Amino acid sequence: MKITKFLTAALFFAGTVFQANASDIPRGEYPRPQFERSAWMNLNGVWDYTFDFSASGLERGLEKATSFEGRITVPFCPESSLSGVGYTDFINCIWYHREVAVPEAWSGKDILLNFGAVYYNAEVYVDGVFAARHIGGSSSFSVDLTRLVTPGKSHHLVVRATSDVRSTTQGAGKQNLQYASYSCNYTRTTGIWQTVWMEAVDPAGLLSAHVVTDIDQGQLVITPRFRSESGNTLQITVKDGGKTVASAAVRAANSSVAVLSVKRPKLWSPESPFLYDINYRLVNAKGEVLDEVNSYAGMRKVHIEGNKIYLNNEPYYQRLVLDQGFYPDGIWTAPSDAALKRDIELSMAAGFNGARLHQKAFEERFHYWADRLGYITWGEAPSWGMDANGIEAARNFLTEWSELVLRDRNHPSLLIWTPMNEEWWPDRVQYPRFTADLYDLTKALDPTRPVNDASGGVHIKTDIWTVHNYEQDPARLKEIIYKDGVFFQTPLRSVGVVPANIGFNGLRLNDRYEFPSYDGKMPYFIDEVGGIKWAKDQERESQTESWGYGKPPKSQAEFLQRLEGQINGILELKDQVWGYCYTQLTDVEQEQNGVYYYDRTPKFDMKLIRAIFSRDPGDK
């Protein structure tokens, strides 16, 4: 993408901003489709920037800047080619600047500045005045600019983003902690990497709406929250196409709950991803509309009975793929909304019915397309890189994770929360405490979904028993899974007396901690398997620079034979195993074990791949 001069061209009518050049704005679509307002302005495009490797910017007064010498295309990170920068060394600090014109039509409204995500710490300044700080590289946040801006005037917006990805206090996910990418760690992402936008909201406007779909009673239970309480009324309308199927009006108070009965509800599932449209209107005593938000919901239920996961009260076998959400040109940021949709379509074409979204919190537009297309997801956070034993790391992660759960809990396609990946006993005191707190926090924020505490790692408090197994021999893989899932069912296994420095006045205590092993009373799920390497020209050339699991096959025929053997072996264990996640959807840089190449072109005859992955237990 060439960097071109970004001009804001907007037409103002009845308080609504219509962006005349929206097609010229990178990632110009509305970024929050489950909570959409009409009065908004996309701030993506060319900004000024400067690196601040000495972290002296505040001493030099950069928060008061009216321009910087560099140009960067937002929302793409400076490491990416789409940003126009392409700097891939460590970036500890970067400053952004652009002018923002607040529409005069927004007078009397609160002006909110929204960020999809900024990695990792963000400070926001307006005309040199500090506005807000946010800590956390994946969760969205809003800044109330009302006191700092004047409708009809332009202001200087400055964002300072800092990151210390090797500090162990922040989750890095698959961002590499060395200079260059290696094994299953890839190019880093720093600074603004999701859409920035501004919107006008009534001071008493809707802050959020938590939607719980109760299919057993045939109802939607909606808990709204408001920016302030002023004796107004919230009107809620639920539609099936253009037909109203339910409506309610409740007092606009943070204690209000709306229960809407939906007769003969149409349920959401991968086979039938039906969505109801929801409209929220905040009206005053005169009947004037103060705030209006459009949304949607899918009525579905996910729960666990015994060792099976249920969808809509029926056992539902999940055939997932590991999706890391990396792009050759955008790194963590998809080059377009269409690219997000296409990744889901490619996965479904390969025979998968969902994905474990691995070591990255995906943007809301991905969840939107998953909802629309009928695609199961497991929500995860970039936990790798943090010290799960550290107090500061725990505080950072718990806060960011709670923001992600609150942001995404209304999406019907998201079935399971799995916050961490492969944690292996950082210690026997703080790690169990942290993991139990993480489970309890997740359940408090969203009691409707199962929680997988640490995918493939040591389980402390979990609803699903997940394991990772990259044994390449199909027969050996089946044998290991069978023994692990059946023969080794001991309720508790003691790790003995372990010294643990818990930091109380330098005391060192002996701690006996017994952790659970699989007992057959919860779903057993292989949420990483396969990882069979296949690189271009693998059958003819050595591929020592690429990375994958096990000894690579020498031909496509050998690849397909191994793949089919592994998946069939898992399917045959349907009484012990209730789903799998294959590694992975696409290659990522040097890791070349996807079913598609990094550029999303297919490696194999996808009809053969689909025939393997589309099978459920019991299929002939």
Asked if residue 105 has pLDDT above 50, the reply is yes
State the SS3 of 134-155: EECCCCCEEEECCCCCCCCCEE
Model confidence at 546, pLDDT cuts 50, 70, 90, reads: confident
Percentage of the residues of the chain whose pLDDT score is greater than 70: 90
- On whether the CB atoms of residues 413 and 298 are closer than 8 A, the answer is yes
pLDDT in tens, 111-121: 999 999 999 99
CA atoms 466, 469, 470, 476: torsion sign:
negative
- On whether the CB atoms of residues 466 and 320 are closer than 8 A, the answer is no
Region of poorest pLDDT, from 137-151, 415-429, 463-477, 563-577: 415-429
Phi, psi of 612 (to 5 degrees): -80, -50
- On whether the CB atoms of residues 588 and 186 are closer than 8 A, the answer is yes
Q: Where are the beta strands (DSSP E) in 481-608?
A: 492-501, 508-516, 524-530, 579-583
Percentage of the residues of the chain whose pLDDT score is greater than 90: 83
Q: Where are the beta strands (DSSP E) in 406-489?
A: 414-417, 420-421, 454-455, 465-469
Neighbours of 556 (CB within 10 A): 15
Mean pLDDT of 136-148: 98
Q: Where are the domains of the chain?
A: 10-201, 206-297, 313-488+519-613
Asked if residue 501 has pLDDT above 90, the reply is no
Question: Which CATH number describes the domain made up of 10-201?
Answer: 2.60.120.260
Mean pLDDT of 536-544: 70
- On whether the CB atoms of residues 352 and 358 are closer than 8 A, the answer is no
Model confidence at 512, pLDDT cuts 50, 70, 90, reads: low
Mean pLDDT of 351-375: 98
Output the CA–CA distances (angstroms, integers) from residue 44 to 99, 196, 325, 421, in the order listed.
12, 6, 20, 32
Q: Where are the beta strands (DSSP E) in 447-578?
A: 454-455, 465-469, 492-501, 508-516, 524-530
> Which pLDDT belongs to residue 515?
63
Give exposure, 168-205, as e/b (b: 16+ Cβ within 10 Å): bbbbbbbbbeeeebeebbbbbbbbbbbbbbbbbbbebb
Measuring CA to CA, which residue among 193, 186, 161 is closest to residue 172? 186
Mean pLDDT of 450-464: 94
Asked if residue 511 has pLDDT above 90, the reply is no
DSSP string for residues in 139-205: S-EEEE-TTT--TTSEEEEEEEEE--TTSSSS--TTB-SSSS-BTTBB----EE-S-EEEEEE-TT-
Mean pLDDT of 327-332: 98
Which H or E run includes 314? strand 314-315
Q: Which residues pair with 18 in a beta bridge?
A: 11
Mean pLDDT of 80-101: 98
Mean pLDDT of 405-419: 98
Mean pLDDT of 564-577: 94
Residue 596 per-residue DSSP state = B
Hey, is 463 helix, strand or coil? Answer: coil
Q: Comparing 509 with 206, which gets the higher pLDDT?
A: 206
Measuring CA to CA, which residue among 285, 301, 294, 300 is closest to residue 236? 294
Model confidence at 482, pLDDT cuts 50, 70, 90, reads: confident
Asked if residue 130 has pLDDT above 80, the reply is yes
Mean pLDDT (the chain) is 91
Asked if residue 498 has pLDDT above 50, the reply is no
Separation CA 586–CA 322 (nearest Å): 9
> Which pLDDT belongs to residue 602?
97
Compute the CA torsion angle 568, 459, 138, 602 (nearest 10 deg). Answer: -10
Model confidence at 487, pLDDT cuts 50, 70, 90, reads: very low
Hey, is 115 helix, strand or coil? Answer: strand
Asked if residue 448 has pLDDT above 50, the reply is yes
Q: Which residues pair with 560 in a beta bridge?
A: none
Separation CA 314–CA 133 (nearest Å): 45
CATH number for the 313-488+519-613 domain, one of 3.20.20.80, 3.40.50.300, 3.40.50.2300, 3.40.190.10?
A: 3.20.20.80
Residue type, 542: S
Contacts of 288 (CB under 8 A, 6+ apart): none
Q: Which class in CATH covers the domain with range 206-297? A: mainly beta
Contacts of 514 (CB under 8 A, 6+ apart): 492, 493, 494, 495
Helix axes 337-349, 364-373, angle to 10 degrees: 40
Mean pLDDT of 485-497: 39
Asked if residue 510 has pLDDT above 90, the reply is no
Output the CA–CA distances (angstroms, integers) from residue 463 to 195, 308, 455, 468, 521, in the order listed.
34, 11, 11, 16, 10
Fold match flag (206-297 vs 313-488+519-613): no
Helix axes 391-408, 430-445, angle to 10 degrees: 20
pLDDT in tens, 290-325: 999 999 999 999 999 999 999 999 999 999 999 999
